[in-house]
């Protein structure tokens, strides 16, 4: 197994993702998927946050930088899944959310602390918020295809929390 596959396996749960499909178009569910793509608590926010952390930590913390880089790729995969779901559910999968007033995703949705511990602590909180959001959705959406995907993504987010906590502890 090459190094890229080893790294990818470490940063996500070793379980397949369910197929991306839906029972039928549903604009309410589509709005939830758009929110998962481009709201404050969203995959786009996490991709951007982890990309930024990977860049700014590289000069001093190369292994932490690599970790955030690999996790950002997993989050990008989640972003793609939610975009495909939104499309199947009847929405235009742009980085926006809001049923009546569309609000575009913005890099202002994330903060940019300078301290490495603050960056990691913020990442832990972001993953917790995503888990809370996806759990709520899984408990309220009545499409078992979508709930299976949400529950699978939650497993990756929990893995990310464990990794970030280990990184944080190494720095104290």
Whole-number Å distance between alpha carbons of 43 and 25: 22
Q: How many angstroms from the chain centroid is the CA of residue 145?
A: 19
Residue 103: inside a domain: no
Residue 8: inside a domain: no
Which domain range does residue 120 map to? 24-98+114-171
Residue 4: inside a domain: no
* pLDDT band at 3; cut points 50, 70, 90: very low
Which residue reads 């178009």 in tokens? 25
Average model confidence (pLDDT) for the chain?
A: 92
What is the domain count for the chain?
A: 1
Q: Which CATH number is 157's domain given?
A: 1.20.1260.10
pTM as predicted: 0.92
pLDDT tens column, 37-78: 999 999 999 999 999 999 999 999 999 999 999 999 999 999
Q: What is the mean pLDDT of residues 131-143?
A: 98
> Residue 104 forms beta bridges with which residues?
96
Q: Is residue 2 pLDDT above 70, yes or no? A: no
Whole-number Å distance between alpha carbons of 43 and 76: 7
Residue 68: inside a domain: yes
Residue 107: inside a domain: no
Q: Is residue 30 pLDDT above 90, yes or no? A: yes
pLDDT tens column, 67-111: 999 999 999 999 999 999 999 999 999 988 776 677 888 888 998
Residue 109: inside a domain: no
Min mean pLDDT across 8-17, 103-112, 126-135 is at 8-17
Q: Which residue has the higher pLDDT, 125 or 105?
A: 125
């Amino acid at each position: 197994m090459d190094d890229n596959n080893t790294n990818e396996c470490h940063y996500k749960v070793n379980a397949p993702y369910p197929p991306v499909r839906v029972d039928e178009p549903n604009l309410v569910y589509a709005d939830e998927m758009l929110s998962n793509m481009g709201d404050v608590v969203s995959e786009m926010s996490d991709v951007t946050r982890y990309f930024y952390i990977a860049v700014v930590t590289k000069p001093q913390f190369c292994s932490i930088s690599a970790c955030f880089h690999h996790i950002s790729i997993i989050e990008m995969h989640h972003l793609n899944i939610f975009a495909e779901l939104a499309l199947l559910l009847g929405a235009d999968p742009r980085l926006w959310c809001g049923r009546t007033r569309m609000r575009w995703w913005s890099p202002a949705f994330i903060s940019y602390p300078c301290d490495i511990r603050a960056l990691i602590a913020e990442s832990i909180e972001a993953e917790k918020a995503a888990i809370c959001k996806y759990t709520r959705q899984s408990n309220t959406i009545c499409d078992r295809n979508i709930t299976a995907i949400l529950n699978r993504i939650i497993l990756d987010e929990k893995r990310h929390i464990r990794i970030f906590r280990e990184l944080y502890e190494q720095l104290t």
